[in-house]
Every structure is written in structure tokens, then in C-alpha cells.
Amino acid sequence: MFTKILIANRGEIACRVILTARKMGIQTVAVYSDADKDARHVELADEAVHIGPAPSRDSYLQADRIIAAAKQTGAQAIHPGYGFLSENAGFARRVEEEGLVFIGPKHYSIAAMGDKIESKKLAGAAGVNCIPGVNDAIETAEKAVEIAKGIGYPVMIKASAGGGGKGLRVAFNDKEALEGFTSCRNEARNSFGDDRVFIEKFVEEPRHIEIQLIGDSHGNVIYLNERECSIQRRHQKVIEEAPSPFISEATRKAMGEQAVALAKAVKYESAGTVEFVVGKDQSFYFLEMNTRLQVEHPVTECITGLDLVELMIRVAAGEKLPLAQKDVQRKGWAIECRINAEDPFRNFLPSTGRLVRFQPPRETMFAAGEPSPQP
């Protein structure tokens, strides 16, 4: 087992990883920018290394500085948290090449699932239900209309590199498909530097349900039930709950088994999430795979009694998963709400405003009834 790990992140997720590492007797190294020198994650860690100025592109996204900080402090492994470099296959490979351990999936698994078009092809080959559509990049608006008519309206026009609702349009007729393709492609080029666009069937009355996975380096992969993420605002999740109040036991099992099949197809290790869109008849189709820990991981921990960060660390250290599929529990129900502030006088633009008072409830639940670790 590792004796010291570095957390290549900040804020809540860095604090979360530090608490589990402390519980496991592992020392931690925080990294921080100029803006975060007095942040809580810096205070909680055993050591802290300054990695640059406030803009994240000059600090938390600087792979060389993060790797140098790990070597300087004697850390044996790096946990990327979520966001920043967590799904960067190049960073994961660099960490390995420098003789360190990346506490996450292998770089080839991240790369395989990082492109929406290629990941759908891999999913189909692994026997995972995929939404009817064309997964190859479409070159012209006229071709987009022809394909949309073949699939049958309504259709979704999506950017291959998209995310967070950017580069996504729904079309109900030829005119909307023509205009949607052009605007989607332009937005994708401007937002992601990648204008590849594909088309798939739009599932009506959809639900967004995701399966939590964990795999090890010995070929074992299990699913840890699902999370319901259907309540969204501007394509961003607002409410996440586990388990889903909608799907049946049979659907849960089928989704879980398909998610595991996909993970095994890309030799997946560590924690990951396979996202599905589920129709009103409980038909389900693959959306994408997130090759990292999710923001909403605590709701899964609450109903399973498992510490996902601990499992990630143990798997990265070469240990086998301590449980099989039959051992996964589902007790109780958990919910997570992301606080959203918008300015109604500015067309509901996101607005953090000034936080005058914040009084969180006392923590009484961590991993299904265990007392939460104290800083």
C-alpha cells in the first residue's frame, strides 16, 4: 500500500480524498495556486506544494508541475479527483512513465472512452444497447437531413467532443435538422476545437440513469447499482439520487451487466460510470462513460456502505476487489442536490452572488451509517 499520495485537485474533492487517505493511514500532499494558498484542502493535507498562479491553465492543468511536486515530496501515487486532468489520457500516461501510479483507470481506457463517436462503436461491439443513429462524423448539412429522415424524427444532433449541453440540438423536421447541424458544428468548433458531429434518435420522455462501476487489475469488474440524474437544468445535473425510483430490478440488472461488459472490453480498472438514457418503457441506451470519480459518488456510498475513494486507492495499489457482485448491498435511499444560483434579471445567467450565511446540517451519514471521518 502507498504511504503517501498527491491530490492533483482542489476544493471539496481534494478534502474528500484526504479524509479517506487519513483513515487508511496514508499521508497526503496538496497542490495549490496563488488563489488557494489558504484553502481548506491545503490546511488538511500533511504537505502542500505551490504550483503556479491563480488561472487553472497555469497551475492545476500543468502536468509537469504536478508530477514534479509528487517527486519532490516522495509521493508514490497521484489521485486526480474530478475535473482538471482526471480524464486526460496523456496525463495518466505521463504519470505512469514517470514511475508514479495514477489512481484511476489506465490511459488506454480513458482514451477509448473519451471520444463519443468511438466509444459508441466500442459499446456496440461489446453488446451494449446503443441509440439508433449514425456514429460516423457527418460532413454536410444536406447529409445530416438525409440521415435524420432515415432514422426518423425527432433526432439529436451532437458534437463528438461535446459536454454540458454544448454542441447539442434536437430536430423535429428537415428545417430544424439543417439549421441544427450548422449551429451545432459551429458551437463545437468554438467550444472544443473539434467540429465533428453525429446524429442519433431522440428518446422521448427520457431519464438519465448511470451505473457506478469499480474494476481491479485482476480482471474483476462489478457494478454498484445506479444513480438517477434526470432532474437537470441547462443539461447540468441538479438532483442525483440512489437508487432510481423508476427502473425495475430486471432493468437494473440488465444495465449493470452491460456496463460491466463495456468496462471489461476496455480493460477498465478503478471507479467509473456508464451513463444511459432510459425511455418511458424502460428501454435503455448507452450515452457515454465517465472515466473518473463522479461528483455524485456519495449517494452510491450511502446505499452500498462502500468508500469509493478507498476502493480506488486499493485497486491502484494492485489489490483485488474485496467483494463480488453478489456482495453489493442496496440499503436505504440517498439524494444529493447541487446548489444553483441564477440572476432572474439577467435572463437567469449563473450568478454566485454574495453568500451571507451558510449553515450546513450536521454530518450523520457516511457510507451507509458509518460516522463521517473528522478533519
Catalytic residues: 288
Letter for the amino acid at 61? L
Question: What nine digits make up the cell of 111?
Answer: 482514451
Q: Please give the Cα distance from 192 to 367 (Å, whole number).
A: 37
Containing 267, the helix (H) or strand (E) segment is none
Angstrom CA distances, 13 to 82, 167, 298, stand at 7, 28, 11
Q: Please give the Cα distance from 311 to 319 (Å, whole number).
A: 9
Question: What nine digits make up the cell of 277?
Answer: 438514457
CB atoms within 10 A of CB 286: 23
Q: How far is CA 87 from the centre of its chain?
A: 8
Q: Please give the Cα distance from 147 to 82 (Å, whole number).
A: 36
Question: What nine digits make up the cell of 168?
Answer: 447539442
Containing 102, the helix (H) or strand (E) segment is strand 101-102
Indicate the DSSP class of residue 370.
B
Phi, psi (5° rounding) for residue 167?
70, 40
Question: What nine digits make up the cell of 310?
Answer: 478507498
From 232, 315, 230, select the one nearest 272 (Cα to Cα): 315
The DSSP annotation for 127-159 comes to T--B-SEE-SPP--HHHHHHHHHHH-SSEEEEE
Q: Please give the Cα distance from 147 to 246 (Å, whole number).
A: 32
**Cα angle, residue 298 at apex, residues 292 and 303 outer, rounded to 5°:** 120
Angstrom CA distances, 218 to 36, 360, 367, stand at 39, 41, 25
Using only the alpha carbons of the chain, give its radius of gyration. 21
